Chain A
Amino acid sequence: MTSGTVATRRRRHTFQSVRWRRIVLGGGLAVLLLLLWQWYSSRSAHNIFIASSPSRSWDSLVALVTTGSFWSVQLAATAQGLALGWSCAVAAGLLLGAALGYVRTLREALEPLLFSINCVPRLALIPLLTLWLGYGLTYKAVVVVIAGFFPVLLNTMDGVRRADNELMRMSRSFGAGPVWQLFTVALPGSLPSVFAGLRQSLAHSVVGVIGAEIWASSAGLGWLIANAELQVRTDRIIATIIVVTVVGVLLNETLRLVESRCTRWYPRERR
C-alpha cells in the first residue's frame, strides 16, 4: 500500500517523465546553488581558503585524483582497513546471526547482552581504541568491525528467526531434520534481511573507517581530510569528501547489483 495517491492523483506521469523532471529541476537547483557559491566566493573579501569555491574544489579534486600516491597510498590505506574490518564483521555477523536466529535458547541468553552493547555509541569508542591499539591497520579494522558488526548480526538474526512457518512445516512433513531445515528453508529465506543488513553495515563501516582516520591515522582518505583541515584548505576537504561519497555510493551500488543477482526469485510485491 504505497505511492502518493493524493499528490499524483490527477497526473498520469510515467516513470520516465518523473525521472526527467528530477534531473532537470534537481540538477537545476544544484547548478544554481553552485553558481551562487562561486559568485559569493569570488566577490567578497572573505578568506578564500575558508570559504573556498566550486572551481577551486574542482581543481583540488582533479589534482587529488590524478596523483599517483592518492591511489597507491591513501585510497589503499582506507581500502585495506575497510576490507579487513568489513569482511570480519560480515563473517562474524552472519555466523552468529544465523545461530542466534535459529536456536532459541541461545538467542534468549545472548539477546539482552547484545542489545546493551548495541546501545553504546560506536564512534565514541574511537578514542578508547586509539589508547588500546595505537593508530595502525588493526585499530582501523577494529573500528570498522565495531561499526559494521551489529547491522549484519541483527538483520540476519531477524531474517532467520522469521523463517516462514508454512515452509518449515512443509519441510518437517517430509521428515526434514533441524539441520536440513536450516539450510534449505531458514537461510535462503533470510536472504532479503541479510542483504538489508549488509547494506546498512557497509554504510556504517565507511563512516567508521573515515572517522577512525580523521581521529588518528597516518594515511587514508580520512587522514587527507584531517590534514587539509589543519592546513585550512577547504577546497581539499571538499574534494576528499566528494571522493569518499563516490566510493560509498559505488560500494552500495555494487552490493545492490549482487543482491539483485541472488534474488531473482523475490515475489513481485517485494521488489
Chain B
Amino acid sequence: MSASVVAATRGAGVIVVLLAGWQWAAGTGRVDPEFASSPARIGTTLWHLLSTSSFWTVQLRATAGGFAAGWSLAVVVGIVLGVAMGLVGPIRDTLEPLVMGFYATPHIALVPLLIVWFGFGFQYKLVVVFIASVFWVLLNTIAAVREADEGLVRMSRAFGATRRQVIATVVLPGARSGILVGVRLSVSHGIIGAVIGEMFSSHQGVGFLVSESAQLGLIDRLLALVVLLAAVGTGTNAALAALQDRLERWRRPDTG
C-alpha cells in the first residue's frame, strides 16, 4: 500500500472512530442525546430537512438570492476597483486608506448598524454579503495587478510596447490567476456572510433557520444545518479550485 493511502485511511479512521464513539455514548445514555445530539439524529434531521420542499423553495432560495446579488456586485466592484487601484497610483493612494479602514473594522460589528439602516429585507442581505465578499476580491486583485512579473514587463518594453500594451498583454493576463483566487475565496466568505446576516435578522433563509432552531432549542436541527453549511463551503471551494486548475493548465506547478 502506498504511503498516501495509508495516511488517508489513518485519517479517515480517526473520524470514523470519533463518530462511532459519539454515537455509542449517546445511544447508551452516557451523554444525554437531548443535549449533545448524536450522529444518527443529526443525519436523520438533515435528511428530513433536505427532503422538505419548503427548505429548497423558501429558505435556500432566500439565502441563495441574497448571496447571488451581493456577491456578483462584490465581484464586479472588487475587480474594477482593484484593477484601477492596482494600476493607477493616485487612485490607490486616495482609496486605500478608506479601504483599509473598513477592512480593519470587524464586520460583525457592522451588522446591527446595517439592520437599523436597511431593515430586514433583501437590501440588508445584499449589503452584508457584499461586505463579506468584496475585500477578498478587491485585495487579491490589487495584489495580483501590482505583482506583475518584472521580467516579462521588461521584455515587453524592450520590444517597444506602450504602457497600454504592457498592461493589456502582460499585467492583466498575468493577474488573472490571482484575481480568480480572490473570487474563489470570496464565495465561501460570501455564503457565510449571507447566513450570519440572516441569523441576526431575518425571517427567511438558512441563517434564519439556525437562529430559529436555537430559539426553539432544536439542537439536532442546529447541528444538521451546521454540517450542511460545512459541506457546502468545502464543496464550493473544492469545485472552484478544480475549475481554476482546468482553466490554468498552462501554469506548471512551481518546483522551486
Q: In the complex, are there CB atoms of A and B closer than 8 Å?
A: yes
A residues with a Cβ closer than 8 A to B are 1-9, 11, 13, 18, 21-23, 25-30, 33, 50, 105, 108-113, 116, 119-121, 123-128, 130-132, 203, 206-207, 210-211, 214-215, 222, 225-226, 228-229, 232, 234, 237-238, 240-241, 244-245, 248-249
Contact B223 A128 (CB under 8 A): yes
Q: Is the CB of B88 within 8 A of A7?
A: yes
Q: Using A4-B87, A7-B89, A131-B219 as known contacts, say yes or no to A207 and B108 having CB atoms under 8 A apart.
A: yes
In addition to A26-B93, A248-B104, 11 A-B residue pairs with Cβ atoms within 8 Å of each other are A1-B150, A50-B117, A116-B230, A124-B192, A132-B35, A210-B106, A210-B108, A214-B111, A225-B113, A244-B109, A248-B106
Q: What are 8 A-B pairs at a CB distance below 8 A? A: A6-B153, A29-B94, A29-B95, A109-B11, A113-B15, A124-B225, A214-B109, A226-B112
Within the complex, which residue of A21, A121, A232 is in contact with B90, where a contact is CB–CB below 8 Å? A21
Give the distance in Å from the alpha carbon of A128 to the alpha carbon of B222 in the complex: 7
A33 to B14, CA, bound (A): 55
A29 to B101, CA, bound (A): 13
CA distance A215 to B171 in the complex (A): 45
Contact-residue bracket for chain B: 35 or more
- Report yes or no: A108 in contact with B89, Cβ–Cβ below 8 A: no
Q: Is the CB of A124 within 8 A of B226?
A: yes
Q: How far is the CA of A80 from the CA of B254 in the complex (A)?
A: 45
Bound CA–CA A223/B93 (angstroms) = 36
Interface residue ranges, B against A (CB under 8 Å)? 6-8, 10-15, 18, 35, 86-90, 92-98, 101, 104-113, 115-117, 145-151, 153, 163, 166-167, 171, 192, 195-196, 199-200, 207, 210-211, 213-214, 217, 219, 222-223, 225-227, 229-231, 233-234
Q: Is the CB of A207 within 8 A of B94?
A: no
Interface of B is mostly: helix
Q: SS class of chain A's interface: helix, strand, loop or mixed?
A: helix
- Complex Cα distance, B54 from A44, in Å, reads 43
- Determine the distance from Cα of A2 to Cα of B149 in the docked complex, in whole angstroms: 8
CB distance from B158 to the nearest CB of A (A): 13
- CB distance A4 to B93 under 8 Å? no
Given contacts A108-B11, A132-B35, A238-B113, contact A26 B97 (CB under 8 A): yes
Residue of A nearest to B147 (CB): A2
In the bound complex, what is the Cα–Cα distance between A112 and B13 (angstroms)? 10
Asked whether B210 lies within 8 Å of A127 as measured between CB atoms, the reply is: yes
Q: Please, which residues of chain B bring their CB within 8 A of the CB of A22?
A: 93, 96-97
- Alpha-carbon distance A17/B223, docked complex (angstroms): 54
Minimal beta-carbon separation of B65 from chain A (angstroms): 19
Q: Are B87 and A228 in contact (CB under 8 A)?
A: no
**Complex alpha-carbon distance, A197 and B138, angstroms:** 22
Pairwise interchain contact A121-B98, C-beta atoms closer than 8 A: no
